[in-house]
Structures are given as structure tokens and as C-alpha cells.
Amino acid sequence: MIKDSIKQAQSYFSLGSDIKQALLFLQQNDLSNTQNGKYEIEKDKIFAIVQDYQTKQKETAKLEAHKKYIDIQFIIKGKEQLGYTHIDNTSISIPYDEEKDIMFLDGNCDFLTAEQGDFLIFFPHDAHMPSLTAEKTSYVKKVVVKIKI
């Protein structure tokens, strides 16, 4: 798991051309007025999902993980807390759904806060719990870039 400011994105370009392309997309586009939905960046390989929501309490959330995609989560507006841990520290609570590329997990995790301009990279071994309330329930606009592996 990586967390940093989008201003530092170039520090991670060496992780691969697909990650570089996704980070450049986030750096070079003003997504603040983009409608919610799915946007193709590179056909069948990289796409972005723009979403907005009210943050939720930890007690109502589950850890999740993916097998087919790396997630880059970028906070466009707002602030949220996220949980994270290595997948080896978890147990499966809802089995992997291949069509949706998601499984839900139980386990203890650490938490961090992400705010406007921050991005996080979650690899398949990174279980994560996004969209959590940081200090108080708040509005968040986020884009999740999915990179096929």
C-alpha cells in the first residue's frame, strides 16, 4: 500500500507504465466537476470510476481485496479514513466474486486519513477498507483507477 500526494506522483512512475499512465491521468485532469461513472483510460486495461458518497462508520464496513486489478484511489474532494492490512492477516468473510473482482475479509487493520489531493495504491495483497468517517460524517468525491494485472 502506498499513500502520497498527487504532487509527488512522479516518484512512483518507476512502478510500471500502467501505474504511470494512471497517475498522469489523475495529475493532468481536473476531475472535480466530472460526473459519476466509469471512464476508459486504456481499453480493457485501465479505467476510472468517479463516485461520491457520505463516509460511513467503521462498524458497518468490511475489508476488501481484489485479484485482477490494482486500485489507485484519489480523493478529489473531502476527507476519509481508510483501513489497510496485508491479506495474510485476514480471513475470508464473503468469498471471492470473480465477476466483480472482490472478496470481503475480516481482520484487524491499521487506519490512515486521506484528504483532497491524496492518492493511495492498493495491490492485490493489500486488504483495504475505504470510505470511512475520519472525524465526522462527510461528503467525499473520489476516483478509483483500476489497473488490470
- Residue 92 lies in domain: 2-148
Burial (CB count <10 Å: 0-12, 13-18, 19+), residue 39:
middle
Q: How many domains, in total, are found in the chain?
A: 1
The Cα–Cα gap between 79 and 77 comes to: 7
- Would you state the pLDDT for residue 44? 87
What cell numbers appear for 54 in the block?
457520505
Determine the residue type at 82. Answer: L
- Would you state the pLDDT for residue 149? 96
**What is the pLDDT averaged over residues 9-38?**
97
pTM for the predicted model, two decimal places: 0.96
Q: Which residue has the cell 491479506?
A: 87
Task: Check which CATH number belongs to the domain holding 25 and give it.
Answer: 2.60.120.370
Q: Read off the pLDDT band of 19 (50, 70, 90).
A: very high
Residue 127 has pLDDT above 90, yes or no: yes
